[in-house]
Amino acid sequence: MPSKQVPRESKVPQVSRAIKTRGTRDTRSPLDTSSKNPQTMEELLAQTGYQVHGLKRDQQIEGTVTNVTSRTIFFDVGAKAEGIVVDREFEAAKDYIKALKIGDKVSLRVLYPENETGQVVLSLKGEALSSAWKHLLKAKDAGEEISVVVKETVKGGFLVNSFGVVGFLPTSQLGEALQKKQSDLEGKNLKVKVIEVDKTQNRVVFSEKAVSEKEKLEKIKGLIAKVKEGEIYEAEITGTMPFGAFAKIKVDNHDVEGLIHVSEMSWEKIDNPEGFYRIGDKVKIKVISKDESQSRLSFSIRQLTEDPWKNLIGKYQVDLHVVGKVSRLVASGAFLELEPGLEGFIHISKIPVEKQIKVGDSLDCFVEAIEPEKRRISLGLVLTEKPVGYK
């Protein structure tokens, strides 16, 4: 029989080894960041160095504007999802949003770290309000005209809105044309100038007549130039506000108006100027400052009367018996008027618990301490009977 041939070595194992080799070469960990092409979000973040920040409610963050629509503004805030300002927050800051463009960086407050669609819900109110105050101050310094919307009628004038800040437009600062249309002004847009800005007191005062009667006011500037600080005039009260009263004087037979700030009305503390003076009252005033560029004068009534504190040390002494009338009650005690323009104070710890006092009561007291540098007199009650708990 012919000998049996031995089959040649099969190539299958070689193929298997090749497949095995390829498999070993292509196998890699899913989190292998050495790959040039990132396969996961973690790889992408690791390669780019981009940091995803966890956000908390009410946190102040910086965002970059990425898109603006008619009802929403979008921000990149360094989170997994974009940030948005929508609905009431968008409406409250819409004037500020109009000035923003893609790429602008602004300060934002987190309302909700994540809504139902995963977006960060933000507020622009703080940034918008800060920007509004800067805009108002700049407009005042430059004498620029701005637009306001009349919100409502209040005593002595109107509350108006400008870039989200509510200010005051006195009736006395309306031009003659609008003086006759005061009942129709609510909701109207008016061109005004800013005549006072005080962010710490949250106060802004506007003038419409500074725009509508510009030529007339230019003439008044010339009249104000003739007024000298320190001069005394007979004046007439033309309006009262929470912060003072307006009064007019005659200069070359023309009316020129100025402000008597509440602190310059009297040596006494005045809580309500309207209870002190009425429109039409005749008063004597002293010119204490003027601003021709703003067509504004400042008056004082207080400086025409003697400061009661000047004779205080000689007239009031420690342990002196005095009678005062309760003028104000505060949480820490009671103020008593000792004489016009001069008050003393009884601390609440010096008032027996069972003694009920009210504004207008006359009380027997003695002087405990005098502090002229602080313009303060401390009083104690003269007790006519033993207080409860006395031993």
Show me where the domains of the chain are located. 60-123, 138-211, 213-304, 308-381
Determine the pLDDT at residue 216: 82
**Which CATH number describes the domain made up of 138-211?**
2.40.50.140
Q: Give the distance, in angstroms, between the CA of residue 105 and the centroid of all CA atoms in the same chain.
A: 23
Q: Say which CATH architecture domain 308-381 belongs to.
A: Beta Barrel (2.40)
Residue 188: is its pLDDT beyond 90? yes
Determine the pLDDT at residue 49: 57
User: What secondary structure, in 3-state letters, does the chain show?
Assistant: CCCCCCCCCCCHHHHHHHHHHHHHHHCCCCCCCCCCCCCCHHHHHHHHCCCCCCCCCCCEEEEEEEEECCCEEEEECCCCCCEEEEHHHHHHCHHHHCCCCCCCEEEEEEEECCCCCCCEEEECHHHHHHHHHHHHHHHHHHCCEEEEEEEEEECCEEEEEECCEEEEEEHHHCCHHHHCCHHHCCCCEEEEEEEEEEHHHCEEEEECHHHHCHHHHHHHHHHHCCCCCCCEEEEEEEEEECCEEEEEEEECCEEEEEEEEHHHCCCCCCCCHHHCCCCCCEEEEEEEEEEHHHCEEEEECHHHCCCHHHHHHHHCCCCCEEEEEEEEEECCEEEEEEECCEEEEEEHHHCCCCCCCCCCCEEEEEEEEEEHHHCEEEEEECCCCCCCCCC
Q: Mean pLDDT, the chain, as a whole number?
A: 84
Determine the pLDDT at residue 288: 95
Asked if residues 259 and 301 have their Cβ atoms less than 8 Å apart, the reply is no
Asked if residues 288 and 233 have their Cβ atoms less than 8 Å apart, the reply is no
State the amino acid at position 48 in one-letter form: T
pLDDT above 90 covers a percentage of the chain that reads 52
pLDDT band at 385 (very low <50, low <70, confident <90, very high): low
Determine the pLDDT at residue 160: 96
Which CATH fold would you assign to the domain 60-123?
A: OB fold (Dihydrolipoamide Acetyltransferase, E2P) (2.40.50)
Determine the pLDDT at residue 17: 39
pLDDT band at 214 (very low <50, low <70, confident <90, very high): confident
pLDDT in tens, 7-34: 444 444 443 333 333 344 444 444 444 4
Determine the pLDDT at residue 193: 94
Determine the pLDDT at residue 38: 67
Residue 102: is its pLDDT beyond 70? yes
CATH assignment of 213-304, among 1.20.1250.20, 3.20.20.70, 2.40.50.140, 3.40.50.920: 2.40.50.140
Q: Check for a shared fold between 60-123 and 213-304.
A: yes
Determine the pLDDT at residue 275: 77
Determine the pLDDT at residue 48: 59
pLDDT band at 74 (very low <50, low <70, confident <90, very high): very high
Cut 0.75: pTM above it: no
Determine the pLDDT at residue 124: 94
